[in-house]
Amino acid sequence: MNATPIVTVKDLTRDYQQGTITVRALRGVDLDIATGEFTALMGPSGSGKTTLLNMIGGLDEPTSGTVIIDGQDLNSLDRGQRSDLRLHRIGFVFQSYNLIPVLSAVENAEFVLMLRGLPAAERRARAVETLAAVGLAGMENRRPSELSGGQQQRVAVARAIASKPALVLADEPTANLDSKSGHELIATMAKLNEELGLTFVFATHDPKVMNAARRVVWMEDGKVQRDERK
């Protein structure tokens, strides 16, 4: 495994204003994630897992502190540059699948490749291949409404990895799945991590993810409490 950090988080804080009350979602988080790691951010609701994941993905801006992705300090990037960074370096998997309902499975899987401007034939081939890798061969032309929750989340994973990003961020990917589908999805992602060397970071409550992860970062009250490596 390459030990170069793909994610470096330094003294990260994030405050939210709720009326007159300031809510501190992150209180000085320091974290390095190396390329190829399979990391789970664990902790109770409100512990700051999702906030940290959003900061790492450049979806939200910190109140203070730094996030460096693949050598690029996100504070130095404007909105458009952060979009470009996500497009070329980061894949996302969300809790509730969040597929584009008017696109078929294969069109969803190739969406990021389309945004990247890959030729149609190449992106279609890659999307079909990725769908097969997540166990959805033969379901390419189904719309999200014609797929089960587990299948939709697999399409979401395919969409996240089809562009071969440096980093895949997954927020509660198994939360809406039944136990069997959850196991299968984790197994699929673990396989992709091993075979392709993709870096995965999960925000999760799910013990199945924790068991599969090789590193578990425990969070509580916006801080890292424990960092366990297996």
Partner 1 sequence: MLIFIKLATRNLLRNKRRTAITMTGISLGLALMVFSNNVAFGSHQSMLRTAIGMMAGHVVVQAEGYQHKPDSKLKILDSGAMADAIRAAIPNATVTRRIYMDGLLISPVASTAAVVKAIEPSRERKVIDLDDKIVKGKWLADDDDRGIMLGQDLATRLDVGLGDKVVFMGQPDGTEVESRLFRLRGIFRTGSPEIDGFTALAPLSAAQELFQGDDPATQIAINLPDDKQTAARTKQVRALVQAVAPNSKLEVLPWQQAIPDVVEFVKLDSAYGDGIWLVLGIIVSMGVINTVLMSVMERVREFGVMMALGLKPRKLAAMVLTEGFMMGAISALIGIILGTLITWPFMSMGIDLSGDMGESMEAAGVPLSMILYPEIDWGRLAIYPFIGIFFAVVASLYPAWKVTRLSPVQAIRHQ
- Please enumerate in sequence order all residues whose Cβ is within 8 A of that of 114, keeping only pairs 6 or more positions apart, or say none: 123
Which of 123, 113, 109 has its CA nearest to residue 154? 109
User: Which long-range contacts link 11-17 to residues 24+ away (Cβ below 8 Å)?
Assistant: 11/64, 11/65, 11/66, 12/52, 12/55, 12/62, 12/64, 12/65, 12/66, 12/67, 13/62, 13/63, 13/64, 13/65, 13/222, 14/48, 14/51, 14/55, 14/60, 14/62, 14/63, 14/222, 15/63
Closer by beta carbon to partner 1, 85 or else 136: 85
**Is 19 among the residues that bind partner 1 (CB under 8 A)?**
no
Question: Is residue 172 a contact point for partner 1 (CB under 8 A)?
Answer: no
Q: Between residues 102 and 121, which has the closer beta carbon with respect to partner 1?
A: 102
Which residues, 58 to 117, sit near partner 1 by CB under 8 A? 59-60, 79-80, 83-84, 86-88, 90, 92, 94, 98, 100-103, 107, 111-112, 114-116
Asked if 124 touches partner 1 (CB under 8 A), the answer is no
Count the residues of the shown chain that bind partner 1, applying the rule CB under 8 A.
Answer: 26
Q: How far is the CB of 114 from partner 1 (least distance, A)?
A: 5
Binding of residue 47 to partner 1 (CB under 8 A): no
In the bound state with partner 1, the residue whose beta carbon lies nearer, of 76 and 195, is 76
Smaller CB distance to partner 1: residue 70 or 84? Answer: 84
- Rank residues 87 and 187 by Cβ distance to partner 1 and give the closer one: 87
- If DSSP codes are grouped into helix, strand and coil, which group holds residue 206? coil
Minimum CB separation of residue 59 from partner 1 in Å reads: 4
Q: Hey, how many other C-beta atoms are within 10 angstroms of the C-beta on 204? A: 23
Residues from 125 through 164 that contact partner 1 (CB under 8 A):
159
Burial 150-166 (b: 16+ CB within 10 A, else e): bbbbbbbbbbbbbbebb
Question: Based on CB atoms, which residue is closest to partner 1, 86 or 218?
Answer: 86
Q: Give bridge partners of residue 118 from the DSSP assignment.
A: none
Binding residues (CB under 8 A) for partner 1: these are: 54, 57, 59-60, 79-80, 83-84, 86-88, 90, 92, 94, 98, 100-103, 107, 111-112, 114-116, 159
